[in-house]
Amino acid sequence: MFAPTSEAELSEVVAGLSAAVRVLGGGTRGFVRGGDDVLSVAKLSGVSLYEPGALTLVAAAGTPLSEVETMLAGEGQRLAFEPMDHRVLLGTAGEPTLGGAVSANVSGPRRVAVGACRDFALGVRFVDGTGRVLMNGGRVMKNVTGYDLVKLLSGSYGTLGVLSEVSLKVLPVPETELTLVLDGQDCSQAVAAMSEALGSPYEVTGAAHVSGKTYLRLEGFEAAVRERFGKLRSALKAHGEGGEIGAEASVKLWRDIRDVRGLSEHGFVAKTSLRPSAQPAMLAALNEAFEVQVQLDWGGGLAWVGADMDNANAQDLLMFLQDYSAKSGGHTTLIKGPDVGPVFQPETAGVARLSDAVRQKFDPLKRLNPNLMSASS
Amino acid sequence: MQMPTPNPETLANKQALRERLEAVLGKRGVIADERELKAYECDALTAYRCAPLLVILPESTEQVSAALKVCHEMRVPVVPRGAGTSLAGGAMPSADSVVLGVARMNAVLESDYADRIVKVQTGRTNLSVTGAVEADGFFYAPDPSSQLACAIAGNIAMNSGGAHCLKYGVTTNNLLGVTLVLMDGEVVELGGAHMDAGGLDLLGLICGSEGQLGVVTEATLRIVPKPEGAGPVLIGFDSNEVAGACVSDIIKAGILPVAIEFMDRVLIEVCEEFAKAGYPDCEALLIVEVEGSDAAIEHQLGLIKEITERHNPVAFRVAESADQAARIWAGRKAAFSAVGRISDYMCLDGTIPVSQLPYVLKRIGELSKQYGLGVGNVFHAGDGNMHPLIMYDANKPGDLETCEAMGADVLKLCVEVGGCLTGEHGVGIEKRDLMSDQFAPDDLDVQMAMKDVFDPMWLLNAAKVFPLDASQSRREAE
């Protein structure tokens, strides 16, 4: 295992590689597979700049997320994109890192309201597959100077470069939160209710459907949240009575939704990202053919599909989800389960060609996570 | 402004090119008349002009693809153009180029309120995207000052921002999918109506690539529900430092306004004279806007008042009516026109960490004295995006050059304090040669390598964004 302790050392290590490596942060997210040697960034750690008044934080890629979150909480701030803790679902051990969250563009329930992890990434420093130390973006919130490689690196799973440092925009923690719950809905009714809620002016910051219950989160100043809660409840009357979940229980509920705790017992878990209105038809067809458990997030835009089945059936299930996604213009990623097919959604020929060519520019020798994302030509 | 020498062969082939383009676009789709071409010789950076060889105005993705294929085969440079409102020269042609204008592609293809998206052809103007959905309670959030005129195509090319992006983000945060036509005519779909990328985030790379990687003909945009209400407040201070500290305190207190705008004395006076907005006589002015129900607005304004009072404001005016709110914004929105009325000016766009605000304003004041040119400051204070307006006299020989030199010093200052050259206007030709101040050669090289992927012959908008000497070997490769 390689475990460089500085960016310069990381650059030397990568430049000196004679074979491919698996790039890891805390190794909790389970994406990186295969038998290659490990390159860990866990020892590149520490927050180098935090300006609460500018809503900006800069830290080394291996900094534990918990350390970042504790520091932000001290100033009443947080990572608004609500990164999932994969340990709950995957049963992995270790410490999730900031670089890992950015590399996998891990975005939780609040994505539907405030944006994904990549939308909060302001700058990156990284080492490409040849050992060059590169930077893009910076630490300011508005920056259109040159091409935006920050978005490209976010969600590239270490295939373009090894992150050494990231700058993020952070946001204040609201005074309080309340959740409206609608009971006894099927997926189709849930998507309709969530769409109506997200289309209302009441600033819903979470819209999920778990085990027949639909949850809608409101955050903000106490009095305002209370007022919006009342308005949202009456606006959604046609969808059911609507119960209330208070702040403390709400925080816990959304942490479980974020971590997909409800599906953690399943051996197979995939996530399917479609436009919300396409999801009910997909789920109806899915339920016809397979026995699955489903959790919806992002107002229906994201379906988590859990199942327990033998490998042959799991392969059919993954193929079903990826075929359906291809037809309706979305994608499916395998999050947990045996090696039964492509982890990532196969891309159309044109996009695959461009992606491969981009990858070739960053990592011409195929040193970094070569088995991840689209197969390189 | 140095530009590559036009290729004499391309100039000589004009007639043949025109015929081939007319064959795919019809006569109506090709402009070759010298007088008509003059209308395309510059964008909103009017100091630099050059008429193109031809202008084409395709009406569909298929036509864009067919026309680009022709240009690719004949190795003719193409300059994509939205509405021509770029302040950075992003749409300025070269003499041997074809300008591809998207103005005739302005349809709304789909609006879906359940999925909260609108799909448009990219010639559509920013404000008319909102116009198509506002009756149903939605709007498209990015709001560049030119939103009445600017096209979505240009917004995507420059990753445009606006006054309200502190809460809603800039173009890249509100763009879900594009139809992209590559220089060789290939059509690629990136993203869609869903919320994230399944593979590499190529959409994120395209947004802000200044028309150098492909021509975006259709875009799926996120729309958001209109807030229950909005309320601006006007706050005056007797120094820039205090105003800057107040901005920081408001943000630290957990209030997230949709906009925080800052004007210095020069701009306050010029705008007041022009717009009669009723601005107080002071050194620095903040316009802070919050959103929500009446009660929520009142609560947030109460908190802002409490914070502000610790900084001894010389004025604190809450808008009591829609009319008063409009008046508070009137001066700010007229800022560029108000300065334009009294002087020629160059508008800069550097971004700085908010904490560096007082220092940077002081340094700009010193540079103003050193160069002997007046400067006014107006900017988006919440996110540190500055807009210093340097005033000069276009009729006075040498004044433009002095102004450019001072502008370069201001932008270098922004980089020096941890910021960047441009927050929302783009690099274009204007800041092209300053890129080496922000990026090391390798950092520029990896960006240019992306252009190698999408446009290997460097035909699309090639003499922009990167310093000419840095891109030379790629542009001139056979």
CATH number at residue B420: 3.30.70.2740
pLDDT band for position A200 (cuts 50, 70, 90): very high
Asked if B132 and B213 sit in the same domain, the reply is yes
Per CB-CB distance under 8 Å, the chain A contacts of B225 are: 198-201
Task: Give the distance from CA A206 to its chain's centroid.
Answer: 14
Average pLDDT (B306-334) is 92
B405 assigned to some structural domain = yes
B462 assigned to some structural domain = no
Asked if B133 and B196 sit in the same domain, the reply is yes
Task: Kindly report the nearest CA distance between residue A201 and chain B, in angstroms.
Answer: 5
Asked if B253 and B327 sit in the same domain, the reply is yes
One-letter identity of residue A116? A
Residues 6+ apart with CB under 8 A from B78: B68, B71, B97, B98, B99, B100, B183, B215, B459, B460, B461
B477 assigned to some structural domain = no
* Run of H or E residues at B405: helix B399-416
Whether residue A141 and residue B255 make contact (CB cut-off 8 A), yes or no, is no
Asked if B26 and B80 sit in the same domain, the reply is yes
Q: Is B254 exposed, middle or buried (0-12, 13-18, 19+ CB in 10 A)?
A: middle
Site of tokens 């869903």: B194
B471 assigned to some structural domain = no
Which pLDDT belongs to residue B103? 97
CA dist A26 and A30 (Å) reads 10
Asked if B210 and B461 touch (Cβ cutoff 8 Å), the reply is yes
Quick one: how many helices (H) and strands (E) in chain B? 18, 18
Whether residue A351 and residue B190 make contact (CB cut-off 8 A), yes or no, is yes
Residue B230: Cβ within 10 Å count: 18
Domain of residue B284, residue span: 230-336
Which pLDDT belongs to residue A36? 83
Q: Which residues lie across from B120 on neighbouring strands?
A: B108, B219
Using alpha carbons, list the distances in angstroms from residue B34 to B31, B37, B51.
9, 5, 8
The average confidence (pLDDT) of chain A is 96
pLDDT band for position A34 (cuts 50, 70, 90): confident
Task: Give the distance from CA A43 to its chain's centroid.
Answer: 23
B30 assigned to some structural domain = yes
Asked if B122 and B221 sit in the same domain, the reply is yes
Q: Which residues lie across from A245 on neighbouring strands?
A: A179
Q: In terms of pTM, does the model score above 0.80?
A: yes
Asked if B347 and B328 sit in the same domain, the reply is no
B322-333 and B335-342 helices, crossing angle to 10°: 50
Task: Determine if residue A145 is left, alpha or beta; phi over 0 gives left, psi from -120 to 50 gives alpha, anything else beta.
Answer: beta
Report the chain A residue with the minimal C-alpha distance to residue B198. Answer: A331
Whether residue A140 and residue B170 make contact (CB cut-off 8 A), yes or no, is no
Which pLDDT belongs to residue B358? 85
- Using one digit for the tens of pLDDT, what is the confidence trace for A206-235? 999 999 999 999 999 999 999 999 999 999
Straight-line distance from the first to the last Cα atom of chain B, in angstroms, rounded to the nearest whole number = 25
B193 assigned to some structural domain = yes
Strands (E), B413-474: none
What is the complex's ipTM, to 2 decimals? 0.97
And the tokens for B396? Answer: 């006075």
Closest to B100 measured CA to CA, from B186, B19, B3, B31 = B31
Asked if B143 and B219 sit in the same domain, the reply is yes
Tell me, what DSSP letter sits at residue A345? P
Task: Kindly report the nearest CA distance between residue B114 and chain A, in angstroms.
Answer: 5
Per CB-CB distance under 8 Å, the chain B contacts of A48 are: none
Closest to A114 measured CA to CA, from A157, A79, A86 = A79
pLDDT band for position B382 (cuts 50, 70, 90): confident
Which pLDDT belongs to residue B25? 98
And the tokens for A375? Answer: 């197969």
Average pLDDT (B413-423) is 97
Which one of B310, B336, B362 terminates a domain? B336
Straight-line distance from the first to the last Cα atom of chain A, in angstroms, rounded to the nearest whole number = 27
Q: Which residues lie across from A59 on neighbouring strands?
A: A47, A166
Residue A281 has pLDDT above 70, yes or no: yes
CA dist B95 and B54 (Å) reads 9
Residue A71 has pLDDT above 70, yes or no: yes
CA dist A216 and B284 (Å) reads 42
- Using one digit for the tens of pLDDT, what is the confidence trace for A169-195? 999 999 999 999 999 899 999 999 999
Which one of B181, B203, B225 terminates a domain? B225
Q: Domain of B158: which CATH number?
A: 3.30.465.10
Whether residue A115 and residue B453 make contact (CB cut-off 8 A), yes or no, is no
Asked if B25 and B119 sit in the same domain, the reply is no
Asked if B119 and B84 sit in the same domain, the reply is no
Helices (H), chain A: 7-15, 65-73, 86-90, 98-103, 111-114, 117-120, 149-153, 187-198, 222-235, 247-259, 279-289, 311-327, 349-362
Which pLDDT belongs to residue B478? 65
Residue B334 has pLDDT above 90, yes or no: no
Chain A interface mutation, best of B111, B115, B474, highest count of A Cβ atoms under 10 Å: B115
Closest to A39 measured CA to CA, from A12, A59, A67 = A12
Number of domains into which chain B is organized: 4
CA dist B149 and B130 (Å) reads 13
Whether residue B194 and residue A273 make contact (CB cut-off 8 A), yes or no, is yes
Which pLDDT belongs to residue B477? 84
Q: Which of B14-23, B170-179, B337-346 has the lowest mean pLDDT?
A: B337-346
- Of chain A, the percentage scoring pLDDT greater than 90 comes to 95
Q: Is A79 exposed, middle or buried (0-12, 13-18, 19+ CB in 10 A)?
A: buried
Average pLDDT (A108-112) is 98
Asked if B210 and B123 sit in the same domain, the reply is yes
Task: Determine if residue A153 is left, alpha or beta; phi over 0 gives left, psi from -120 to 50 gives alpha, anything else beta.
Answer: alpha
Residue A377 has pLDDT above 70, yes or no: no
Average pLDDT (A70-96) is 97
Per CB-CB distance under 8 Å, the chain A contacts of B422 are: 143-145
Task: Give the distance from CA A28 to its chain's centroid.
Answer: 13
- Using one digit for the tens of pLDDT, what is the confidence trace for A292-328? 999 999 999 999 999 999 999 999 999 999 999 999 9
Residue B273 has pLDDT above 70, yes or no: yes
Which pLDDT belongs to residue B137? 97
Per CB-CB distance under 8 Å, the chain B contacts of A105 are: 196-197, 201
B160 assigned to some structural domain = yes
B449 assigned to some structural domain = no
Asked if B218 and B151 sit in the same domain, the reply is yes
- Using one digit for the tens of pLDDT, what is the confidence trace for A43-60? 999 999 999 999 999 999
Whether residue B249 and residue A374 make contact (CB cut-off 8 A), yes or no, is no
Asked if B191 and A330 touch (Cβ cutoff 8 Å), the reply is no
Asked if A296 and A187 touch (Cβ cutoff 8 Å), the reply is yes
Asked if B401 and B428 sit in the same domain, the reply is yes
- Using one digit for the tens of pLDDT, what is the confidence trace for B106-131? 999 999 999 999 999 999 999 999 99
Which one of B225, B242, B274 terminates a domain? B225
Which DSSP string corresponds to B119-187? Answer: EEETTSBHHHHHHHHGGGTEE-----TTTTT-BHHHHHHHT---TTHHHH--GGGGEEEEEEE-TTS-E
CA dist A21 and B367 (Å) reads 51
Q: Which of A30-34, B27-31, B323-327 has the lowest mean pLDDT?
A: A30-34
Asked if B315 and B236 touch (Cβ cutoff 8 Å), the reply is yes
Closest to A66 measured CA to CA, from A92, A43, A97, A42 = A97
Q: b/e map of A39-59 (b: 16 or more CB within 10 Å)? A: bbbbebbeeeebbbbbbbbbb
- Using one digit for the tens of pLDDT, what is the confidence trace for B25-75? 999 999 999 999 999 999 999 889 999 999 999 999 999 999 999 999 999
Q: Which of A303-307, A347-351, B160-164 has the lowest mean pLDDT?
A: B160-164
Q: Domain of B273: which CATH number?
A: 3.30.70.3450
Whether residue A277 and residue B112 make contact (CB cut-off 8 A), yes or no, is yes
Beta-sheet pairing, B187-191 with B224-225: unpaired
